[in-house]
Structures are given as C-alpha cells and as structure tokens.
Amino acid sequence: MESTFQPVAWSSDQVPWKYHRLSPRATSPGERARLREAYACWQRVWRETFRQLDGTASLFSDDFTRQDEIGALFSGEECIGLTAYRFIDLSEPSARDDSYFKVWPGELLDEVLARALRVCVGSNLTVAEGWRGNLNGLRVSEVLLELAVRRFQESDADVMLGTMRNNRGMNRVSYRLGARPLRERVVHHGVEVDLVAWGRPRAHCIWCSGATTYLHQGVAYESVA
C-alpha cells in the first residue's frame, strides 16, 4: 500500500531543506529510504537522551513505528530532525491509557475531552546532534515545531497536545506559537516539562494560510512540491 502523504519542500539561498511527511505503516517504495534514515536519526538521538536522563540506552522502536505520521526534515539525504503525529479519539479508554499520557493527570484529560474529541498528539521532537543551536539565524527545533503547528492546522483534529521540555526552552517556543499551558513544571524523566495544548482559535504560524511562500525568522521558503 502506497503512502498518500506527499513531501513538502522548501528551498532558500541559505538552507535547502525539505520536509517529508512519512507513514511508518504505509510507506511507498520511493519513501522507504527516507523512512529508514528518519528512524536512524530518531534512534541515535533518543538512545543518547534516555542514557542521559534515565541511565539506560535501552530503546524500542514502538514509539516510532506506532505513529500515524513522521514529519522529517532533510538536508540532502540526511535527516536532520523530525516530529511524530498520532490522531486519536480521546473518548476511547485505550487512547487515554496510552503510555504517552502517563504524566497527564486523568482530570486534565477529562478537561481536554470536554472541549475536544479528535486529538493530535505531537511527540518525539528530534534534532540530530550536528544540527542543534543557532544555524545562521535558524534553529531546527523551532522550524520543526512551527511545521507541527501547521500540520495540526491542516488536520481534522480539534486540539494538539504536547509535552514540552523546559530546560531546552521548548515550552517558551510553544507559547510563542499559540499553545496554552495546561500543567506547568511537571517532572518527566527527571526533568521539568510543561503539558500544553493548541486549540483551533489559538494556534498560529508565522506563515499565512494557503500561501506558497513562508517565512521563518526572516528567511523565505518557497513550496516546490
């Protein structure tokens, strides 16, 4: 079965990056090499992350393969970062009992469900080691999060949820992009995280809806896909 996801590509004089939405469960032959490269990037980064946070290098592929989509950012043939998306019905007990929500209090999920049924779970924000920090005025982590907001806007989900690591500043970036804090300074894997949500009226990108040219920190990207 071929994936119906089409790659979205940007180019600029500074960074010829391409963003591909891949399906781990339904990848076309032409996208399999990209999916393997995205998995290798995810595996390297999260194995080291869990070694630092939990003192273990044990890592299973489930958190990658069970995703509905992987949004992977490429420079040439190298995956430089990615995010993962799952779309769930939060009224289903099996969805609420998912391991992703182990640090989400049950009453908080009740509050979300009272306002939203269809939920996009954004997770696994990953940046390859050599692509971290400020790169000519750009940060891969911020580009990825903005692309995640755009993906949510294009979906049929009512809300997007995220668990944002505070010591990396991703909570502040999420608020700048319209997220609302649901719980702050929750301890997860020994570090503080904020539990956040993007709702339809609040989520925003610095891109104009439907535009073919987008801006990130002053750099223009034109869609070529």
pLDDT of amino acid 14? 57
pLDDT of amino acid 56? 78
pLDDT of amino acid 78? 96
Where are the extended beta strands (E) located within the chain? 8-11, 17-22, 69-75, 78-89, 118-127, 159-165, 180-188, 191-199, 213-216, 219-223
pLDDT of amino acid 30? 84
Query: Would you call 112 helix, strand, or coil by DSSP?
Result: helix
Q: Which residues of the chain have pLDDT under 50?
A: 1-12, 204-225
Q: What phi and psi values does residue 224 have, to the nearest 5 degrees?
A: -120, 5
Q: Tell me the C-alpha distance between 212 and 135, whole Å.
A: 24
pLDDT of amino acid 101? 97
CATH, domain 8-223, list 3.40.50.150, 3.40.50.11540, 2.70.210.12, 3.40.630.30: 3.40.630.30
Dump pLDDT digits (tens) for 90-110: 999 999 999 999 999 999 999
